[in-house]
A and B are shown apart, each in its own frame.
Chain A
Amino acid sequence: MISGYSSDENVEELNDHSTTQDEEDLHNILNDLIGHEHREVESTPLDFLELNIFKNEEGSQHDSDTNSILAEESAKLFFDRYIQIDKGNDEPLFHSKLKHFFILSSAGKPVYSMNGSDDIIIGYMGIITTIISTFEENMQEDIKSITVGEDVKIVALTKHELIFVAITKIGYESMSSSNNHEEDSILVNQLNNLYHYLLSILSRPTLEKNFHNRMNYDLRKVLTPLDFHNLDSLCFKMTYGLQPHGSDPIGFDYFMSQLLGSSLQNIKMTNTTRTQLNNILLSSKKLKEDKKESDKLSSFFNIKRDDEEKYIAEDLLFSFLAVSSKILSYLKPKNHNLSNEDISLLISMIESTELHEPDSGEGDLWMPLCMPQFNQNGFLYVFVKKFMLSDYIDTGHQKQCPPITIILISGNKNSFFEMQEISKYIIRKLLKHESFKLKLYKELLLSTKLSVLHDIKVPVIKHFVYKLTKTNQYIMSDIAHYNGERNINSCIQLVYFYSMLRNTKVTKVFKPQGSHKIMHPFSNKKLTYSKWNNVTGFMLCDDTFEFYCLCTEGVDSKDLISHSLKVIKWCEKNYKRLFIGNGVSF
């Protein structure tokens, strides 16, 4: 049961001008707001069933006597019945699923369903189109959402000839709308993500043209098994922070990025290394065909060449260096940008191509992709190369850092070989200096396990997220620290608690003393403090940052505040190491 609260009544509104001891003041204010509570709580880790995250299902009734093996077993049964994607013909199973997504044409033809076989869903497609078209005809407006009883929420989105529908029975998703003024924003965003996926592979003209020619056009014929796999994966990640049926079930990065408003996840890297990577990308853009080389070549093949030098990277628009789907460095033109939504789509797409063959990193990929926010009417061409830095390092022991992914985006569909040339140049540069190579390797090894919690020494905090508002980028600590394991249970809990933290009403922080009417830096801070059983959640944010953290054991609010402030301070101090900012421009 939710036992959280926000301490609205404690808000004091006073102006002040004190400039000293900001830190300590803030500390005291927060303490006052939260109040003291010395409640002893059990510190045994609970699973998501015991925490009653999905409270409306009978499977979640728990016997206090059940031993841990039984608990694990029932959690698995619950997961398979209510959560896991199932495309079978079992109607009761279909209805027990907590979340549904449908994509259909306005003529009622199914395109995609997260759960259930065609036989099961076809009837519902008819109902959905009827409701939507009736509403449209009578109200001259698109239907947005329907709430059924207390715990079922249906949200619809119509785009061109397509209808996107989400149905949720999950508390943390359906409650967000009642407390949040942006109506149903989370679910609408989810539907938009599905729409953007279709745009990214087809582009808008293709979608429109096909439906224009034939109203009963079957979009499914154009989609590949990989597309359906990707849609499944999107739906699952957006809802539960998990991958369906994957060997590594965690998809929490994507979930968090969505929850924070399409924030881009960054990883820690020293400023000098990052600057060096930026410089390599920048110099690759200026790469020219070697004059001397060309001359030799020309005479060699008796080819006449124009005198002017040619930029190899003429068609190159954006470059990324990434590791484990997180961006290390980013190059862009001065007057253009890729939105975080587009970047996250790009990264998901690249991830999906390697999902089934993680070590066949031999080939260079060349894929057309529409970036819906950049230009939904056309394609960009994406060159992808995986590069194993470990192969070039004599480490003695077999520690492998994850591969570096070189992503080069071109506007010209025939520029593959130029992009390949640039990627070779980048690799040569990465390997050129022994010391840089080793430094990069060491930092990449560390980056995959953000051990910030150990670095900062804040034992009370088990997991935290820090978002920089200005650039909409975030970092977070390793999932493994929460509950000590990187598993489905930890992931579902994080999804739930962070959703709840986002959903609860925030309290504004004012500084309660002083006489002058000057705005104090604290005056725009907001906070939320919640407790659920043995978990405590804390959020503090202002115009520049958002900070969220979770503690799993009985924790004194004083410690929580001082540790949180410590983390925030650390993030501010290290912000150049933590965030890529706007990348480099040419």
Chain B
Amino acid sequence: MSSPVPPPPYKVVLLGDSSVGKTSLVTRFTTSRFNQHTANTIGAAFITKEHSVDDRKVHFEIWDTAGQERYRSLTPMYYRNARVALVCFDMDNVEESLNTAKYWIDQLAVNGGTDSSVPIRIKLVGNKRDLLQTHEDTRRQEEQEAIEGFCSENDLEQLWETSAKDGHGVNELFDGIVKDIEEDFFTEYYQRAEDARGRSDSLGQLGFILNRREANNNCC
């Protein structure tokens, strides 16, 4: 009866314009690989991965959503119980993809807090950083200013620069998510698990129960 308690589930949702590299970012994080010809996502994909930073360990549940406008009606389900939203844009196509990023930030402000007790934390991710080297200095300057302006307008403290292609910043991004989690989240989770250990005969089911609870909350 000493089976270890599974790490707590932690929901993350990726949002952003189509073709900014959301799927590639997740693939890079989960498999350390990159495919130039990643197909467009239809609807969404749900990917899980355990990830530890120092002595903390979480079970990431990642919603990789389709960027296409025609799938937008589905998205509320994906961010409903998410704790972190990675709002992604394309550093090689700043103007257009930041516009869509703005759309998502507004959506999250309207819907994010309503039916979930935990506020959703927004991280702005600029992907395709590797393509910046092709930009001339003046263009880079302008884009830099646009991004900084965008961050201050939307109260975003930090820009996370990533490249799914060469891997730059990807692990740091997800490490950062784990580091940002309040200590209370872990103590509460393991306290509940400890309580359950007393009541439950089959501890193997615990992760199942905990996950199930989250799942149930999702279908209202």
The answer to whether A507 has its CB under 8 Å from any CB of chain B is no
Most chain A beta-carbon contacts within 10 A, residue among B37, B38, B71, B219: B219
The answer, yes or no, to whether B205 is at the interface (CB within 8 Å) is yes
Per-residue CB proximity of A181-224 to B under 8 Å, as 1/0?
00000000000000000000110001000000000000000101
Query: B residues touching A (Cβ–Cβ < 8 Å)?
Result: 18-19, 26-27, 30-31, 33, 35, 37-48, 64, 68-71, 73-74, 77, 192, 195-196, 199-200, 205, 209, 212-216, 218-219
Evaluate contact between A368 and B46: CB separation under 8 angstroms.
no
Q: Is the CB of B38 within 8 A of A357?
A: yes
The minimal Cβ–Cβ distance linking B9 to chain A, given in whole angstroms, is: 12
Q: Which 7 A-B pairs have the closest CB atoms?
A: A367-B43, A417-B215, A226-B40, A363-B45, A363-B47, A367-B42, A224-B40
User: Is B40 within 8 A of A300, CB to CB?
Assistant: no
Bound form: Cα–Cα A253–B101 in Å: 42
Kindly state whether residue A19 has any CB partner on chain B within 8 Å: no
Interface residues on A, range: 35 or more
A 354-375 contacts with B by CB, 8 A: 354-357, 360, 362-369
State the CA gap A77–B47 with chains docked (Å).
44
Whether B45 pairs with A202 at a CB distance below 8 angstroms is no
Partner of A413, one of B30, B77, B215: B77
Min CB–CB distance B15 → chain A (angstroms): 15
Let me know if A469 is at the binding interface, CB within 8 A. Answer: no
Q: Please tell me if the beta carbons of A360 and B213 are within 8 angstroms of each other in the complex.
A: no
Most buried by A among B35, B42, B68, B192: B42
27 residue pairs from A and B, CB less than 8 Å apart = A222-B69, A224-B18, A225-B40, A226-B42, A227-B40, A293-B209, A296-B199, A297-B213, A300-B199, A353-B42, A355-B39, A356-B35, A357-B35, A357-B39, A360-B31, A360-B33, A362-B30, A362-B31, A363-B26, A366-B45, A367-B43, A368-B43, A368-B71, A382-B43, A416-B46, A417-B215, A421-B215
A417 touches B219 (CB 8 A): yes
Q: How far is the CB of A292 from chain B (nearest CB, A)?
A: 10
A86 sits at the interface (CB 8 A): no
Which residue of A has the minimal Cβ distance to B47? Answer: A363
Using a CB–CB cutoff of 8 Å, the interface residues on chain A facing chain B are 201-202, 206, 222, 224-227, 229, 293, 296-297, 299-301, 349, 352-357, 360, 362-369, 381-382, 413-418, 420-421
A354 to B45, alpha carbons, bound, how many Å?
Answer: 12
Contacts of B26 in A (CB 8 A): 363
A353 / chain B contacts, CB cutoff of 8 Å: 39, 41-42
Query: Do A202 and B70 touch across chains, with their CB atoms under 8 A apart?
Result: yes
B-side contacts of A418, CB under 8 Å: 215, 219
Residues of A within 8 A of B37 (CB): 356
A297 adjacent to B46 (CB under 8 Å) = no
Cβ-defined contact, A357 with B40, below 8 A: no
What is the CA–CA distance of A382 and B74 in the complex, to the nearest angstrom?
13
Cβ-closest chain B residue relative to A424: B208
Q: How far is the CA of A134 from the CA of B58 in the complex (A)?
A: 66
8 further interface pairs, Cβ-Cβ under 8 Å (given A293-B212, A364-B47, A368-B43): A225-B19, A229-B39, A355-B39, A357-B27, A365-B45, A365-B46, A367-B43, A417-B218
Min Cβ gap A509→B in Å is: 48
Q: Which residue of A lies closest to B18 (CB)?
A: A224
